[in-house]
Amino acid sequence: MELYHSIQLPGLTIPGNIILAPMAGYTDAPFRQICLENGAVFTYSEMVSAEACYRENKKTLGLLVRAENEDYLGVQIFTSNAKSAALAVKAILPSRPSLVDLNCGCSIKKILKSGCGAQLLSDPRKIRDIILAIRDVTDLPVTMKIRSGIDRESINYIEVADAGIEAGISLITLHPRTKSQVFTGKADWEHLEILKNHVPIPVIGSGDLFTPEDVKNMLTRTGCDGVMLARGAIGNPFIFNRTRQYLVTGREPPQVSIEAKLKGALKHIRLFIRSRSEERACIEFRKHFSAYTRYIPDGAALRRSAMQASSYAEYENLVNEYLASKRAEF
């Protein structure tokens, strides 16, 4: 099979296999739009609280508003309660999600304390019951994202996958680290290969994907059906087009120029400002700008200056001055 291809789910064809992962605080509509413009074909909202959804919390439901170029949108919920999951899905259906995903992988402490996210891995039966409750209220594909286990002594991703399949999931994403690892150490891609050989549904891989070469290596080594880009896409939405080109042609794509990176950051800021006040947008954007400017010459000085920026004009001036001073070096 070709490395770049569509993924077929019941009632849904995902048109490619390089997917933007759900990331709290990052995958809002402006970021998803930028990723789609740069080659992503399927995106996820930030993960949302099931309880906040069914209580119709405006801020939470606002996270499900589609970007203007978004044909597909996966919605990922977190909960530890089957009844809450069912009520949440009923509440989000007016947002026209393409699929519903259950988060069984988040390792943020406040999520774990409520028994959600990766804490669910300790009870595969509860995962099965939550999936069954979701499937009772929708015909949309239901999927889940998991980790390898709670810790090295309790690796149970196969048992968790079996529980999900018994309940009727259509696709499973594995980040092959444990809950206790969070993002430390190295993702164990061997778990992906074992899972792919075990289950009859598509498997998506996540973890340590920062370059097109990383994606190709994961696909060829594990046989997984696709990849989910997370940290590797922050400040680097260009990775989608570059990776697709690499998978299709086999030729290493050219690096994105520093000017293109910074112009892309400015466009991202403009989209950000559409959805919030300019000052708030520019302050919140600092974390994105830090990522866009990572690994560029004198990027640290540029980032320090951006920490004071609270208007688009300030960001634009910083970028233009930087480019003018460095253009002879590029």
**In this model, does residue 329 exceed pLDDT 70?**
no
In a domain, 52, yes or no: yes
CATH code of the domain in which 73 resides:
3.20.20.70
Same domain for 267 and 151, yes or no, is no
Q: Give the rounded percent of residues in the chain with a pLDDT score beyond 70.
A: 98
For residue 119 the two structure tokens come to 């804490």
In a domain, 19, yes or no: yes
More confident residue, 269 or 109: 269
Domain boundary among 249, 275, 307: 249
Domain boundary among 249, 266, 285: 249
pLDDT digits (tens, 9 = 90+) for 203-234: 999 999 999 999 999 999 999 999 999 999 99
Same domain for 133 and 26, yes or no, is yes
Same domain for 212 and 275, yes or no, is no
Q: What is the DSSP letter of 266?
A: H
Q: What distance in Å separates the CA atoms of residue 143 and residue 204, rounded to the nearest whole number?
A: 11
Same domain for 215 and 151, yes or no, is yes
In a domain, 154, yes or no: yes
Catalytic residue positions, numbered: 106
**In this model, does residue 330 exceed pLDDT 80?**
no
In a domain, 183, yes or no: yes
Same domain for 239 and 295, yes or no, is no
In a domain, 91, yes or no: yes
For the chain, the domain total comes to 2
**In this model, does residue 79 exceed pLDDT 90?**
yes
User: Across residues 158-171, what is the average pLDDT?
Assistant: 98
pLDDT digits (tens, 9 = 90+) for 174-203: 999 999 888 888 999 999 999 999 999 999
- The pTM assigned to this predicted structure is 0.94
Same domain for 164 and 188, yes or no, is yes
In a domain, 203, yes or no: yes
Same domain for 16 and 82, yes or no, is yes
pLDDT of residue 222: 97
Domain that holds residue 140: 7-249
The mean pLDDT of the chain is 94
* Residue 215 backbone class (left: φ over 0; alpha: ψ -120 to 50; beta: rest): alpha
Same domain for 307 and 232, yes or no, is no
Same domain for 92 and 236, yes or no, is yes
Encode the chain in three state secondary structure: CCCCCCEEECCEEECCCEEECCCCCCCCHHHHHHHHHCCCCCCECCCEEHHHHHCCCHHHHHCCCCCCCCCCCEEEEECCCHHHHHHHHHHHHHHCCCEEEEEECCCCHHHHHCCCHHHHHHCHHHHHHHHHHHHHHCCCCEEEEEEEECCHHHECHHHHHHHHHHHCCCEEEEEEEECCCCCCCCCCHHHHHHHHHHCCCCEEECCCCCCHHHHHHHHHHHCCCEEEECHHHCCCCCHHHHHHHHHHHCCCCCCCCHHHHHHHHHHHHHHHHHCCCHHHHHHHCHHHHHHHCCCCCCHHHHHHHHCCCCCHHHHHHHHHHHHHHHHHHC
For residue 217 the two structure tokens come to 């290596």
In a domain, 78, yes or no: yes
pLDDT digits (tens, 9 = 90+) for 247-306: 999 998 999 999 999 999 999 999 999 988 899 999 999 999 999 999 899 999 999 999
pLDDT of residue 108: 86
CATH code of the domain in which 276 resides:
1.10.1200
pLDDT digits (tens, 9 = 90+) for 145-162: 999 999 998 999 999 999
Q: What distance in Å separates the CA atoms of residue 241 and residue 107, rounded to the nearest whole number?
A: 29
pLDDT band for position 328 (50/70/90)? low
User: Across residues 5-14, what is the average pLDDT?
Assistant: 97
Same domain for 195 and 299, yes or no, is no
Q: What distance in Å separates the CA atoms of residue 159 and residue 310, rounded to the nearest whole number?
A: 49
In a domain, 2, yes or no: no
Same domain for 12 and 69, yes or no, is yes
**In this model, does residue 93 exceed pLDDT 70?**
yes
Q: Give the rounded percent of residues in the chain with a pLDDT score beyond 90.
A: 86
pLDDT digits (tens, 9 = 90+) for 132-145: 999 999 999 999 99
pLDDT digits (tens, 9 = 90+) for 30-77: 999 999 999 999 999 999 999 999 999 999 999 999 999 999 999 999
Domain boundary among 229, 249, 269: 249
Same domain for 36 and 182, yes or no, is yes
Identity of the highest mean pLDDT range in 59-73, 104-118, 232-246: 232-246
pLDDT of residue 22: 95
